[in-house]
Chains A and B, each alone.
Chain A
């Protein structure tokens, strides 16, 4: 613009709405735009690299026996990750059973009863702080509470550690789902003489159910991949889960950690295969959750 103003005598006056790349500030603008878009694409590169490596290194071992056999000992061939897969399912189930009541009822409290009271602010703050709690500290807490008390590493301790990580996600996502229920629906129910408990349980919760399930799925996906809290709570086991929650139990994530540093090639290969299985489970949960919550205009 300044250029156009300083050359008033030019034969063909260029519209000041048009910009030529010859102008330094326009050129800089174009350069920065190109750089930014390039960096944006570059940022997605790690995800594709990870997925590519998982497919290249992990898919080779995929077979029914991989999912149904016990982990092999050091230096042995064959075997699979069956006990770890089952273990992950068991630990995550224990965690869900422990975390759901607290997270769900906490959300009901925040959305329906708490309002802006002091306790509600405190509960919400605690939830936020728990979201940022390093996962290994959840393990330290479960170690102190369960492992030290019972005197042994156990599936229960692992589940407890994971539950701590699930509570804030379940609570905060459920709260916003509960709050999104139109107040007209609630008022209609109140008008019919329903108590608040009835309104919550029969109107609000069923309406908000998709949102609540999304939160649960996201927290499940997060919990499933957690390793740090399991290292010294659930530990690991080379055997099948025998129905006793008081014994150490295998998990996919700890298997990956243990085998990643193994000097035996076959164990490293199993670590890749286990990663492929784990990431597939996590991504499926994430994508389902993302699709379920997508707003209509984004579809």
Chain B
């Protein structure tokens, strides 16, 4: 297109009698180039922003990394006065709460996605439910934390006490729920990842070619036989991606956990014992931290960043591969 314009420009302005269509003036060409460069610069800026975040957090964590090294991962002491720091309990607590949340929220999320994509409810109702589930993601996590403290914790106290009384031998129920703890935190987390899991896995289910399901129906399969034998196996990659993305969200979630997990630097298998997570540790200690503690917190931030980046990259990759595979089926 550009060389056409230059030719026209060479032909001279007189060739263009119409005042509407004319070749760009020199100023317009200049500003065109400038705008293009500007767009490229801002595009690069987004990459630099991500790079800057990784670099800057790493740089501030460097002294603590050199000082505490690998021992940071094997100790559970967090004592600013003695300058001893370790995040073993936080790492395990982060994974534990996220896995419990994923088990609950993942199961529920996939079920909801099925209800919303396989024609269980009328089309209008489907849309209403989809919007309501999406609004779950809009509630700020600090409000979930408040709701958790005053609604969820009292509500789970009785069942938790019953489980502890009747099955004290099971490690999962071995302590009493004294208030905040792993279970309320995981429950709120599962609510928070539900919209992500639902939306992404619904997309994967909707991408399954209609004729695959139609063929199974034609053979006389019931709706759930179609779901279990055709829809779910075909969309399994995307559903797995949805779970991984939900897991990534759960790992990085901060406020609801900082308010509900109990902030105890210990780890126990009991769902009713208090614990801690990496993000909650940062939220609770950063505002008042100074000196060496800031370095240690930066180190913990690096660990959180690497874990979430890896999980998210894996999730995106899975999604990408599934959409490609399903294209071949269509």
Contacts and interface: CB of A to CB of B under 8 A. Distances in A.
A194 B31 CA distance: 12
A235 B289 CA distance: 13
Interface stretch (B165-173, B206-214, B233-241, B300-308): B300-308
The 5 closest A-B pairs by CB, nearest first: A134-B252, A225-B140, A105-B42, A109-B43, A195-B32
A141 B135 CA distance: 29
Contacts of B315: 132
A134 B112 contact: no
A192 interface: yes
Interface string B7-31: 0100000000000111110001101
Interface of A: 1, 16, 19, 25-26, 28-29, 32-33, 36-37, 39-40, 42-44, 46-47, 49-50, 53-54, 57, 101-102, 105-106, 108-110, 112-114, 119-120, 122-123, 126-130, 132-141, 143-145, 148, 164, 167-168, 171, 190-198, 200-201, 221-222, 224-228, 231-232, 235, 253, 256-257, 260-261, 268, 271-272, 275, 278-279, 282-283, 286, 290, 298
A228 B147 contact: no
Given A105-B43, A109-B42, A140-B286, A47 B50 contact: no
B112 to A, nearest CB: 5
A29 to B, nearest CB: 4
Contact of B46 (A44, A123, A134, A290): A123
Contacts of A47: 132, 135-136, 139
B248 interface: yes
A282 B286 contact: no
Interface in B36-74: 36, 38-47, 49-50, 52-53, 56-57, 59-60
A217 to B, nearest CB: 11
Contacts, number: 279
A272 B31 CA distance: 52
Interface residues of B, number: 98
B43 A114 contact: yes
B24 A195 contact: yes
Given A228-B283, A235-B287, A272-B146, 11 more contacts: A37-B121, A46-B136, A110-B43, A114-B43, A137-B301, A144-B56, A227-B141, A227-B255, A257-B145, A282-B140, A290-B131
